Amino acid sequence: MSDFQSIKLENGLEIIGEQLPGVQSAAVAFFVTHGAVDDDDGNAGLAHLTESTMFRGTARRSSRELTEQLDRIGARYSSSTGLELTLFSGIMLGNHLPEALEIFADVLESAAFPAEELEAVRALQLQEIGQRDDQPQQLVVDLARRRYFAGHPLGHDSLGTLESVTGVARNQVVESWMRWYQPGSTLVAFAGNFDWIAVVEQLRALTEGWTGAGQRWRSSPPEINPAFTVDHLEGAQENLCFSLPGVGYGDPGFYPLALASSILGSGMNSRLFMEVREKRGLAYSVFARFDAMSSTGLVRVFAGTQPERAAESVEVIHSQLRLLEREGVTETELALAKTRLKSRVVMGSESTGNRVMSIGRDWFYERRHRTLTEIRDAIDDVTRIDVAECLDRIGLMENLGLVALGPSSASDLGIESRVGNLAPSRKSGS
């Protein structure tokens, strides 16, 4: 069913693509092996600053020319910096891919980093920090990761701090670009309506003068910090985010953990939705999410609740986590979670923008392509034993972290706040 192809050009640039029948749109994404993990201690936010300045002009084109060429073909495009990868992507009508590739290749190979543009981008990044910090739910979920992986590159703040972003010099940005943006560590993925031979030939010609093997960030999995911390923030709700250990892409525990996380906290049939919201009305927003990285992963559980009921929320979530660790999941739950996940995979693949991300991630992290059938089979193969083994391996309760952000104090919440491996001080009854 899959029209998948891949090639590696002479300069090391990898290209993959999957045709999707019946669509007019094409999605393209450049996966650059670079991210916030590469930021040094003193330059937190450098990777993001570099990425967002790249569209501000190249050796041949001004910022206005770059933007207008993409706008003329009606492309929807964006760039973003993650922990381990930086993305440049666009969706457009398939017949306009050539104009878009010209721009993306120019930006990656020949970004010029004009000084005045860099200052404008720096000002915007400082604002981004302020905006993120104005949104408690977003902030606490990010803070949970940063604290859980503190002291390790996976705990970096990709936006940086006011001080670090202000302190970055232009030559650091240029050096960072020269060091990390190389064809040997870049992957280009296509999905939808495109001509494979044509895009490969065009990219070959466009990147002829682009060289460099690049490098890939490698690290042992982080030491985790399963601490409970409480931060004061004025607001109507207490924002609670628990952190649990996860597994990385390609780990045999990947689907078992994805399913366990889904049973715990994805959607209205999940345990947390039932126990925290439906039965007790403690929160409007409550969920679990699992994020995988190359060497490890992370499960986070969020709930937003008014201060007078925050202690009860902590207690209920805590007892649900303990229950999951002790008793695992039931056959019925597992079957439903599989249906949910498979359905999401199939429905998600109908959009070229989603599909390009999914084939790109598979190739980037695991160097393989999976058809929808292969993914469905892998999900179907998971047993209760697999889930139990995975939960056992990650040591859920002994590695539990919590960040509470809001008006409550540690004693309001019924927890002790200090670094270390602590359970809530109040015993919870489930």
Partner 1 sequence: MTVQPRSETTLLHQTLENGLQIVGQHIPGVESTAAMFWVKTGARDEGPAESGVSHFLEHMAFKRSKTRTYVEFNHEFEEIGAENNAFTSIEMTAYHARVLGDQLPKAIELLADLTQPALDATDFDEERRVILEEIARHRDQPYSLLFDEFLGAFYPGSPLGQPTLGTPETISAMSVRDMQAYRDRRYGSDNMLVSVAGNFEWNRVLEQIRDITRDWPRPTVMAHVSPRSGSGRDRIITDSKWNQQHFIIGTPSIDRSDPQYYACAILANILGDSSGSRLFWALNQTGLADQVGADTMTFADRGVMLAIAVTDPDKAAKALATLREELVKLQTGPIQDEELERAKMKLLTSTVLEGESTSARMMGLVDSWLAYGRLETLEEVQSAIEAVTVQDVKQLLDRFPLTESQVLTALGPLSADELVE
- Of residues 277 and 370, the one with the C-beta less far from partner 1: 277
Is 271 near partner 1 (CB under 8 A)?
Answer: no
Q: Are 352 and 17 in contact (CB under 8 A)?
A: no
Q: What are phi and psi of 61, to 5 degrees?
A: -130, 145
Exactly one of 146, 170, 342, 393 binds partner 1 (CB under 8 A); which one? 342
Nearest approach, Cβ of residue 160 and partner 1 (Å)? 14
Q: Does 170 bind partner 1 (CB under 8 A)?
A: no
Task: Check binding of 74 to partner 1 (CB under 8 A).
Answer: yes
DSSP 287: E
CB of 285 to partner 1, least distance (A): 6
Cα-Cα-Cα-Cα torsion 56, 156, 211, 4, nearest 10 degrees, comes to -100
Of 128-136, 206-214, 316-324, 377-385: span binding partner 1 (CB under 8 A) = 128-136
Instruction: State which residue, 86 or 349, has the beta carbon closest to partner 1.
Output: 349
Out of 306, 319, 371, 428, name the contact with partner 1 by CB under 8 A: 306
- Cα separation, 92 vs 26, in Å, equals 6
Instruction: Give the CA diameter of the chain.
Output: 67
Contact with partner 1 (CB under 8 A): which of 134, 171, 197, 209? Answer: 134
Which residue number, 12 or 407, has a Cβ lying nearer to partner 1? 407
Q: How far is the CB of 146 from partner 1 (least distance, A)?
A: 18
What crossing angle do the helices spanning 372-380 and 254-265 adopt, rounded to 10°? 70
Is residue 303 within 8 Å of 265, Cβ to Cβ?
no
Contact residue for partner 1 among 221, 248, 267, 395 (CB under 8 A)? 267
Binding residue for partner 1, selected from 81, 261, 352, 408, defined by CB under 8 A: 352
Q: Exposed, middle or buried by CB within 10 Å (0-12, 13-18, 19+), for 298? A: buried
Sequence-ordered strand ranges (E) for 343-387: none
Neighbours of 208 (CB within 10 A): 12
**What residues contact 320, with CB distance under 8 A and at least 6 apart?**
264, 271, 272, 275, 276, 430
CB of 320 to partner 1, least distance (A): 16
Among 93, 174, 323, 388, binds partner 1 (CB under 8 A): 93
Smallest separation, CB 237 to partner 1 (Å): 5
Nearest to partner 1 of 126, 150 (CB atom): 126
Q: Residue 287 interacts with partner 1 (CB under 8 A)? A: no
Nearer to partner 1, 236 or 385 (CB): 236
7, 73, 174, 410: residue in contact with partner 1 (rule CB under 8 A): 73
When binding is defined by CB under 8 A, the residue of 344, 361, 376, 384 that contacts partner 1 is: 344
Residue from 71, 175, 327, 398 that binds partner 1 (CB under 8 A)? 71
Q: How many CA atoms lie within 13 A of 49 on its CB side?
A: 38
Query: What are the DSSP calls for 81-97, one per residue?
Result: E-SS-EEEEEEEEGGGH
From 236, 378, 385, 419, residue interacting with partner 1 (rule: CB under 8 A): 236
Torsion of CA 119, 123, 128, 130, to 10 degrees: 150
Q: Tell which residue, 230, 266, 185, 268, has the closest CA to residue 12.
A: 185
- Please state, in angstroms and rounded to a whole number, the distance separating the CA atoms of residues 250 and 247: 9
Contacting residues toward partner 1, per CB under 8 A: 21-25, 56, 63-64, 67-68, 70-77, 91-93, 95-96, 119-128, 130-131, 133-137, 234-237, 267-269, 273-274, 277-278, 281-285, 304-306, 336, 339-340, 342-344, 346-347, 350-352
